[in-house]
């Protein structure tokens, strides 16, 4: 209707929150033991449903993986939680 | 005869003393060991007061509770909670006049006792004047609301 007041725009509202209470403990990261025939892409596909996410696993295991194309059966890899 | 009377008196006195002694023992039993302290269950989580203001302190409580604000104010809602919970999500839903959504934000906490959670909203170009409401929910359950005015 012509007499209706236009609705205000709140799209630029900035908000935030904080608490004196602690945050819930993060769940421990999942671990995966590499088996023969595995690759980081294969593991990423298994956990994230997306093979291209292999870099996340690589980055989380840089202390163990020197070459992302070479992972050894028996290695225990940290699997970061889904983004 | 006199000896017999004396014997009777002495015997009666002795019996009386013995009786008194027994009576005393009955009156003062050995103290019972204190009952073992039962483990104190943590209080169930609940939301307490919701207060509004344009500033908060280090304790997250609003400094001066208010229900009227200036268009340039940052508006804070402090939510006091009690009890413990491994995880509870507090949500503040801010609306304008007839229910137009202004903002909605959440904070997930794991309180172990009394706590205060603050939510705040600001609008760089100023709040439109009018009536507003903030509704607080705890893991989806209504937990309190406050109305305020910007003028």
| pLDDT 10s digits, B76-109 | 999 999 999 999 999 999 999 999 999 999 999 9
Mean pLDDT within B12-26? 43
Averaged pLDDT score across all residues of chain B: 84
Q: What is the pLDDT of residue B11?
A: 47
Q: Are A22 and B88 in contact (CB under 8 A)?
A: no
pLDDT-based confidence at residue A25 (cuts at 50, 70, 90): confident
Which residue among B102, B112, B117 sits closest to A10, beta carbon to beta carbon?
B102
Lowest mean pLDDT among A6-20, A29-43, B23-37, B118-132: B23-37
- Per-residue pLDDT at B17 exceeds 90: no
Q: What is the pLDDT of residue A82?
A: 79
Give the pairing type, strands A30-33 and B100-109.
unpaired
Whether B82 and chain A come into contact, CB under 8 Å, resolves to no
Give CB contacts under 8 A, 24+ apart, made by B126-129. B126/B71, B126/B72, B127/B69, B127/B71, B127/B72, B127/B73, B127/B75, B128/A8, B128/B71, B128/B96, B129/B71
Nearest to A73 by CA among A43, A29, A30: A43
Whether B50 and chain A come into contact, CB under 8 Å, resolves to no
B48-59 pLDDT, tens digit each: 999 999 999 999
pLDDT-based confidence at residue B15 (cuts at 50, 70, 90): very low
Question: Residues of A near B (CB-CB distance < 8 A)?
Answer: 7-8, 10, 12-25
- Per-residue pLDDT at B43 exceeds 90: no
pLDDT-based confidence at residue A6 (cuts at 50, 70, 90): confident
pLDDT > 70: percent of chain B: 73
User: What's the pTM value of the predicted model, to 2 decimals?
Assistant: 0.63
Q: What is the pLDDT of residue B5?
A: 54
């Amino acid at each position: 209707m012509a007499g209706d007041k236009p609705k205000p725009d709140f799209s630029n509202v900035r908000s935030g929150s904080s608490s004196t209470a602690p945050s819930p403990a993060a769940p421990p990261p999942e671990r995966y033991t590499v088996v023969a025939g595995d690759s980081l892409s294969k593991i990423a596909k298994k956990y994230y449903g997306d093979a291209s996410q292999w870099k996340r696993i690589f980055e989380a295991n840089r202390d163990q993986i020197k070459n992302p194309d070479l992972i050894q059966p028996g290695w225990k890899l940290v699997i970061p939680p889904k983004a | 005869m006199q000896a017999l009377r004396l014997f009777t008196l002495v015997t009666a006195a002795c019996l009386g003393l013995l009786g008194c002694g027994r009576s005393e023992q009955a009156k003062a039993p050995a103290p019972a060991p204190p009952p073992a302290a039962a483990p104190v269950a943590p209080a169930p989580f609940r939301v307490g007061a919701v207060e509004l203001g344009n500033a908060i302190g280090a304790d997250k409580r609003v400094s001066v509770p208010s229900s009227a604000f200036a268009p340039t104010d940052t508006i804070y809602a402090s939510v006091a909670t009690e009890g413990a919970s491994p995880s509870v999500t507090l949500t503040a839903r801010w609306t304008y006049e007839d229910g137009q959504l202004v903002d909605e934000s959440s904070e997930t906490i794991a309180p172990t006792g009394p706590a205060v959670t603050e939510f705040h909203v600001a609008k760089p170009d100023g709040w439109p004047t009018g009536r507003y409401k903030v509704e607080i929910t705890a893991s989806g359950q209504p937990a309190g609301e406050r109305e305020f005015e910007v003028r």
